[in-house]
Amino acid sequence: MLAYAGLFFWTLGYDTIYAHQDKEDDALIGVKSTARLFGRHTRNALFVIYAATLILLAFAGITQARLLETADQAIIVGSWLPTLLFAFFSGRTNHQN
């Protein structure tokens, strides 16, 4: 359940980034998106979203009995790396443009 919740937030984060591409069109037709919801606070919202992702994925990994096995370590690193990259690039992106 922790991994599911973590991946939900990861999806929410990248969906928010991509939603900024269409936010003007969404406003014209009345679509409610996270880009419109967060507006100028998107960078802060993404920080919280990706922090929740990392924390939930970390707890999901810690709760596994076989945490120290090589396969589990690869899964943890494999799930953290894309999250860190999304967080890094979302902090450098101009969401108002």
Determine the Cα–Cα distance for residues 42 and 48; give it in Å rounded to an integer.
Answer: 10
Q: Would you kindly state where each structural domain of the chain is located, as residue ranges?
A: 2-92
The pLDDT tens digits for 36-93 are 899 889 888 988 998 898 888 878 877 765 555 666 666 666 667 777 777 777 666 6
pTM for this prediction: 0.71
Residue 40 in tokens: 């100028």
Q: Report how far apart, in Å, the C-alpha atoms of 1 and of each of 59, 75, 80 are.
A: 10, 16, 17
What's the DSSP call for residue 93? S
Q: Tell me, what's the pLDDT at 11?
A: 93
